Amino acid sequence: DRDRISFMYFMWTHIGALAFLAGILSVGYLGGTFDLQKIVTASMAQGFRLWIAVLMVVGLLVKMAAFGLHIWLPHAHAEAPTPISALLSPAMIGIGGYAIVRIVMTILPSSFPEISTALAIWAVITMFYGGAMALVQDDIKRLLAYSSISQMGYILLGISSFQVLGVSGSMFQYVSHGLGKGILFMMAGTIIMQAHGLRSIGRMGGLASKMPITATAALLGFLTIMGIPPTTGFISEFLIFAGSFNKAFTIGSMLRISISFLAVVSTALTAGYSLWAVKRIFFGPLPAELNGVVEAPWIVTGPLLVLGVASLVIGIYPDLVERLLLPSVKLILGG
């Protein structure tokens, strides 16, 4: 199916790219400039600004694989070579969230608040959908792919707050997700390599006794995406939820308060599929067909441990990232 899936990825990527390009060309035509700073004060009707923001955001949400625009991601991530999956999920899809902050928020600060509530709702739906789908996957790479969809919901929620806390949390989550999911996709590749192509979680079990280093790194990866202290995921999710609730109480919106509460509840799904996967892969009885499995060489396990240690270090000393993020976010939001 790889030819079909490659074409699917090509088509979805270009749907998003064309929407984003339409927004860029509209800015140039109506505003008379492509300079990011000049666009803010360019002479454009507010209605045009709003629709340009919508075009750009929808284009970038395809990149983020938000719910409804996510169809390509489980297929592409599951069928791509594992080293490519380890780049696609941690680095490439989160860049859509970064672009929303760096471009859309920067050039259209007056229009973004008008779509922020819709984005918050979209974010929570994405969080629940990705988490629920991950719970029922048997293929280890498809489980991680749906997990990535859910994690993009966290990033989108923080962005929708349009506050320094939430937006900086989203950008921190980009780093956190990159570390955690990088570990997990490399873990999946390690198991597939050592178990001679096995991908079905239902046929795994007891691998912690055979691959203790991989199991330790995988646990750190899952704890990171769950947001358990002292991993970096705790800091990023705390900032996202703080920004979301702060926005809700600032504007006095029961809808936004409900959205924030549901977002916190959705973390139970993340914990559910993460702990369930750890139990089925690494604990319990060892199937007879896996008796010959051995730990991967250090050239494979070394990068897993490096990312795991990085998650712990940044989780304990978040200022390593935040001191770089906060000034830029404050400059964009005027906070």
Amino acid at 204: M
**pLDDT for 333:** 85
Q: Report how far residue 31's alpha carbon sits from residue 108's, in angstroms, rounded to the nearest whole number.
A: 12
Q: What is the pLDDT of residues 227-242, one digit of tens each?
A: 999 999 999 999 999 9
State the average pLDDT over residues 89-118: 90
pTM of the model: 0.94
Residue 159 makes CB contacts below 8 A (sequence gap 6+) with 97, 100, 101, 105, 119, 166, 167, 170
Query: Residue 334 pLDDT > 80, yes or no?
Result: no
The encoded tokens of residue 54 equal 């919508």
Distances (CA, A) of 14 to 63, 148, 195: 10, 20, 37
Q: What is the pLDDT of residues 13-58, one digit of tens each?
A: 999 999 999 999 999 999 888 988 888 888 888 889 999 999 999 9
Q: Report how far residue 335's alpha carbon sits from residue 326's, in angstroms, rounded to the nearest whole number.
A: 10
State the average pLDDT over residues 275-299: 93
Distances (CA, A) of 298 to 34, 303, 306, 311: 48, 8, 11, 19
State the average pLDDT over residues 80-103: 87
